[in-house]
């Protein structure tokens, strides 16, 4: 699994995406910060994980409730097999899972800084461990939730044990 985003030089990012795909890696893209980019690179991406604002800006579809999120996801699915649109405290929308809208884990939030990074990193980690899409989303939403219970970005990143405990407690540990 190769996870990247748009913080670095875009040409270098495009080359890294192509190299990862050519080497057989599953390519995950968190298109943050949102900026103009060559959409043809999406043919090398397996999973795209924008937040709702990034997704709206990427597609030009204005945000207006769940109908617009579904339309945005449908537009992104024309280029990428798996679309995950993070919705902050509302959860994540993924048309590839039965529920579509997967709710956020409820925690006492004090700082949302880094929650998207936690989601992306935890999702990639569990996908690379062989977990399926839905289960990896469960771990990712738990990791993002835990990160919001602490201040900062790096200091808020959860440990694996914390993530798995929250999944077992709130989601159900025997789900596959």
> Quick one: pLDDT band at residue 176, thresholds 50, 70, 90?
very low
Task: Give the pTM.
Answer: 0.91
Report whether the peptide linkage leading into residue 133 is cis, meaning its omega lies within 30 degrees of zero: no
By C-alpha distance, which of 54, 82, 47, 89 is closest to 69? 54
Specify whether 81 is catalytic: no
Beta strand 82-83 with 27-30 is: unpaired
Please give the pLDDT value at position 173. Answer: 55
Question: Structurally, what CATH architecture does the domain formed by 1-102 represent?
Answer: 3-Layer(aba) Sandwich (3.40)
What is the per-residue pLDDT across 31-83, written as a single tens digit (0 to 9) for each?
Answer: 999 888 999 999 999 999 999 999 999 999 999 999 999 999 999 999 999 99
Residue of 81, 117, 138, 174 marked active site: 117
User: Where are any strands of DSSP class E within the chain?
Assistant: 2-5, 27-30, 47-48, 82-83, 85-86, 92-93, 101-102
- The pLDDT score that the predictor gives to residue 98 is 78
């Amino acid at each position: 699994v190769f996870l990247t985003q748009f913080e670095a030089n875009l040409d270098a990012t495009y080359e890294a995406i192509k190299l990862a795909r050519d080497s057989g890696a599953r390519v995950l893209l968190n298109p943050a910060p949102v900026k103009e980019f060559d959409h043809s690179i999406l043919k090398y991406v397996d999973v795209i994980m924008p937040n709702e604002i990034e997704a709206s800006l990427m597609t030009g579809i204005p945000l207006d409730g769940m109908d617009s999120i579904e339309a945005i996801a449908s537009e992104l699915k024309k280029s990428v097999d798996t679309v995950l649109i993070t919705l902050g405290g509302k959860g994540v929308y993924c048309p590839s899972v039965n529920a579509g809208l997967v709710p956020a884990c409820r925690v006492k939030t004090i700082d949302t800084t880094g929650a998207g990074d936690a989601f992306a990193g935890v999702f990639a980690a569990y996908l690379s461990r062989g977990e399926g899409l839905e289960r990896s989303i469960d771990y990712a939403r738990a990791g993002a939730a835990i990160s919001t219970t602490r201040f900062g970005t790096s200091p808020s990143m959860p440990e694996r044990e914390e993530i798995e405990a929250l999944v077992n407690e709130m989601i159900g540990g025997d789900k596959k």
